[in-house]
Structure 1
């Protein structure tokens, strides 16, 4: 009787979970967790074997075409975690597996090599040349190749058709093998320095080492004040796990922290460290995945998706800053990586550590009720005390000037003192952009997103209004579309903070770290490297810079949000200060409004730029570096409008226009 298997296709088929296929006799070594190639409709797809089936489905049964792995691609324990995730979060098992496994095969990572296995004598060689010249040419090329091997891609480049190679394989003269090139492993540099542990750190390491030695699952909550040395406890516990032949997974809440913690982990364990997060390219992700499966990398560091790392012998799983909401996946497959880490440790018989200076309420309650073991680090290993915190009530302050509206006197004094002593300053603000929204001063209409009905954020560097939910873009209108009145800007963003800091401290090196500034590849690493090297004095930062979230509304609308080309900001020059930190933007002002460009004559070619290239990068940089303007008194606004009307000149009547276009030659 033919064996039946249940396969999760990648990507999953809508309205279906697992598909049942037959197993040919030649594929008798097929096991759950392996990748296979299956017929689906009129094409062949890649799938993962989820298990064996007993009852055949109604209708015609199709068979597996090819097995892509020699051993399970997903370990048995990870496959069981996928089943638990599907049951708990009410999704199909195929969707969970498709989230873990990349949707396409690795591009040019695996090489198909044709190797010569049998030689022909002279008579057989001449007969092959008369009967099949192309096949004879391929045979002679294999004879001349080193070790009798030829990569299929190189053969195609040399003009050898694939049919000739397949003919040699069918005749038993050659065979096809899949070769996986060895990935480049980072240089194995280890540091012999080990900091002295405090008594609390030693107690925590001993408790974790005892749990690792027992070989059973255990869960801990590591509660330590900021700077108490929780990372050293992780690394010491990881040494215990590696010495016992078990592997380690370390989760961090954001990709930006991955590079920092990887440097410390590689300093301790050398090149046996792999990195997994959503920011990796397809080639890098497949390379790291293969290193983990072959146990070349025994320590995995990554963001929330690293909880599904293909570690086969998991011994220690650490969730750093477990209270952080970034561990919750809100797009696609929704899950909490912290909860899945506890479940995976239980399934693998491993030790899980939930570490935080301010643990979540559910984790702390579980530790107090006995579900987790509580480990505490009440003091810092150095003599440095915790920083003092001063709260300043800005509601009772009356500010004057653009900069004092953003910075209190206490903050400015602290900034100047820190700059004078050569220190660095981090300025946090939980909002991107330049202003929170624009509103009409006459009718009160706010500019909102047509899809989400939320207010649009003003981004001056991009010269656009952006929806932070669905990423809808639009250019900044010159006036209110409802009544034609002027527009007011409300709220403050990181762009405005950066501009004000550059204006107040022109000799200081000011940089900005948020999602907009870190869009380009390597930008975030460059900014952090400059900060660690001491090249940056002040760094405004937004908490949103630590993760890239796609829109939940794209899936609701069923399409990508339409974007419009970037355009130059209109002449919004002078803000009028109001109590509460609001600024009014006015069109006009003496010397700040350009006269209207004369209309081109009929029949002339337009010199407008192509859509999408309305602003150059240099113009965007100049707009971002432009200092905040000086406030315009209310008494001068009427004069500004009058000056604007004079610069426009009299309007041309319709009768003055030429009656016909000039004739073309």
Structure 2
């Protein structure tokens, strides 16, 4: 039977709040006094984001972390017990009783509750939103089946053992390119603690390396969490295969019953390894020793619903609190990760320059020089032809849908930029142009500074168009891949792919990679356009250096980059294979605008047409917080806040947000937005 009691919206008559400042305890009070459970009810409104007191009947046993069913505003609702006490400011005769205790296990342990509260504070979200992300729906039939199998309630079954650690000599050989930092990472995984950011060698076998770290951690009787951005990740599949029966794999489309079983296996310690997408970052493990985020700068790792957390921050904090290792993996650090590096809060694990130069593919830069948009240069078509003749794949990275919204001059092709923040401009209503970054807008496009033209055109080079063009020009199969889990034809073939099909491992040997439309991605009207474009370009270019490729082409494949902006520092960093150089230039540019990683960005979107809205927001912000906007967009009014003190800005906004909550004014808050 499935417990389908969903959280309800509050109405008049909700219980009065008790004192919530007393210390939390896992045990109960003396039997002579009534037992009071402080319950954080799973309801949405921000102004109800606090515990409420309920009477615990004698037949129920509750502790901190118990999930219970209560009446709230006249409706049955779930809630989490955050304190057990005998003190209350409500007359005991007026307290409503806990109706039901959901399960014989702690859904959240006291130390985990502290982490969930940290996440709510960091994102400015109600704790109820965090709980809905962290806790699955209960399925009683799963508990019964687990009890019959002998591993439920917690403590019933025996903790599974694991294989010995990998051979130390083989480990040293596999990680030799990373020097002393690689040894420090392995030592920490074996039984220590720390936060690391690992930049793999071009073409590195991620599945093998992460599998080795997983085995090393398990051998020390500690558990492993691996979070990946895409469900088809070969590296994730490798970890699952290496862990065998000790792993739960959350990447599939699991029904409520299967999902709850897997969660319960992790909660009870039956599972030692959890692998999944961004939601897995909040899954419990008995003894967390290693928490990994693969491709940490990937936008897919950012939650789209409140609390809008990023797996990066959650994983690092969980590992820190557990005394384990937090490991971010990526070719080009995100702005928040770069800030952590500069503040020395994470330790870099990077290959030596000699090892990186030996492993990287050959990159050829072809300036566009007025060539018609979306056409491939002779160097690009030649590389594709050589790749297919060698029996390998030729890969062309195309712009995904929506990346062509950035405007360029219809005559000379120069990018149109915002005069305030230098982001790309897009078309608005009735021919107007606007900047989605800071809110600047104008009724018409300013004259192009290069040629004086006022006619903008969108920058677009879709995968379908490129696929048709290539199919007419080649005698091998051409496949357009625009999403996860699409099967590629066997080589030789040309693959036209968008970002959704770029995985951590190529589908086979790749003899050529053509990056024909990086300008479209670089010119996207978002703050992270440059770093995200470089990250994606390095990831797909690494396919040309993968062991699958070198098994056919010992010298590796070739990479051809076409660009109208060959001097752009992201293009230069790609050619030199030096993400550090990119960030050194990018940070200097952003410092002038006070954008991340120099400051923290917070996106506030409000569903309101109140003309005084901007003044209300400005009045509640502390000194030192800059505001860009308001920007009316899709029925909302959006503000971008820039601050050096995230906590102070969120705290200052809290009273205004609670006022909106009571009045029914919808609003969204996003700390470190990936689309700012």
Query: Which of the five TM-score ranges fits, normalised by the shorter chain?
Result: 0.5 to 0.7
Aligned counterpart, 1:164:
none
Q: For residue 105 of structure 2, what is the aligned residue in structure 1?
A: 71
Find the partner of 1:208 among 179, 185, 209: 185
Instruction: Label 1:391 to 1:206 Cα distance change in 2 as closer, same or farther (>3 A).
Output: closer
1:169-318 alignment to 2 at 5 Å? 196-200=173-177, 203-204=180-181, 206-212=183-189, 215=192, 217-229=193-205, 231-257=207-233, 260-276=234-250, 279-318=253-292
The structural deviation recorded for 1:315 is 0.8
2:403 and 2:472 map into 1 onto residues whose CA distance is 15
| Whole-angstrom distance in 2 between the partners of 1:333 and 1:209 | 33
Query: Is residue 25 from structure 1 mapped to residue 58 from structure 2 by the alignment?
Result: yes
Q: CA deviation at 1:425?
A: 2.0
Output the CA distance in 2 between the equivalents of 1:350 and 1:79. Answer: 18
* Separation in 2, partners of 1:360, 1:405: 28
Secondary structure of 1:64 counterpart: coil
In 1, distance between residues paired with 2:141 and 2:43? Answer: 20
1:446-485 aligned at under 5 Å gives the runs none
Contact 2:53 2:88 in 1 (8 A): no
Structure 1 residue 97 displacement after superposition: 0.8
Would you say the 8 A contact 2:398–2:463 is kept in 1? yes
The SS at the match of 1:248 is: strand
Deviation at 1:409, TM superposition (A): 2.1
Kept in 2: contact 1:36–1:64 (CA 8 A)? yes
CA shift at 1:248, angstroms? Answer: 0.6
Gaps of 5+ in 1: 116-148, 150-177, 183-187, 442-451, 457-467, 469-487, 519-523, 563-665
Going from structure 1 to structure 2, the CA distance change for 1:8 and 1:296 (only over 3 Å counts) comes to same
Confirm or deny that 1:105 pairs with 2:138: yes
Is 1:543 the counterpart of 2:519? The answer is: no
1:408 and 2:442 matched: no
Kindly indicate whether residue 395 of structure 2 is the aligned counterpart of residue 419 of structure 1: no
Superposed CA deviations along residues 307-341 of structure 1, whole A, max 9, x for unmatched, are 10111211111222223333332432222221222
Equivalent in the alignment of 2:450: none
Map of 2:37 onto structure 1:
5
In structure 2, relative to structure 1, the CA distance for the partners of 1:66 and 1:325 (3 Å cut) is same
- Residues 201, 233 of structure 1: 8 Å contact kept: no
**Does the alignment pair 1:333 with 2:307?**
yes
Which has the larger Rg? 1
Gaps of 5+ in 2: 1-32, 157-161, 411-425, 431-435, 437-456, 504-602, 610-633, 636-676
Instruction: Flag the 1:76–1:455 CA change in 2: closer, same or farther, 3 A.
Output: farther
Q: Secondary structure at the match of 1:410?
A: helix
What's the RMSD between the two structures over aligned residues? Answer: 4.5
Write the distance in 2 (CA, Å) between the matches of 1:80 and 1:35.
Answer: 16
Task: String of CA shifts for 1:323-368, please: whole Å, max 9, x gaps.
Answer: 3333332432222221222211121111112222323455345445
Contact kept, 8 Å, 1:205 with 1:236, in 2: the verdict is no
- Work out whether residues 434 and 496 of structure 1, in 8 Å CA contact, stay in contact via their aligned partners in 2: no
Provide the C-alpha distance between the structure 2 equivalents of 1:382 and 1:232, rounded to a whole number of angstroms.
18
Q: Secondary structure at the match of 2:55?
A: strand
Query: What residue is the counterpart of 2:471 in the other structure?
Result: 502
Q: Aligned match of 1:350 in 324, 332, 339?
A: 324
* Cα distance between partner residues in 1 of 2:492 and 2:94: 67
TM-fit CA distance, 1:23? 0.8
TM-score, reference length from structure 1: 0.55
How far apart are residue 231 of structure 1 and its match?
5.0
Question: Equivalences for 1:544-583 in 2 at 5 Å?
Answer: 544=500, 556=607
1:228 is displaced (CA, Å) by 4.1
> Could you list the per-position Cα deviations for residues 549-601 of structure 1 after superposition, in whole angstroms to 9, with x for gaps in the alignment?
xxx9999599xx99xxxxxxxxxxxxxxxxxxxxxxxxxxxxxxxxxxxxxxx
Whether 1:87 aligns to 2:55 is: no
Q: CA deviation at 1:70?
A: 0.9
Query: Matched residues in 2 for 1:9 and 1:348: separation?
Result: 27
CA distance in 1, matches of 2:340, 2:605: 37
d(CA) in 2 for partners of 1:298, 1:3? 36
Rate the CA distance shift 1:278–1:85 in 2: closer, same or farther, 3 A: farther
Q: 1:75 to 1:227 in 2, by over 3 A?
A: farther
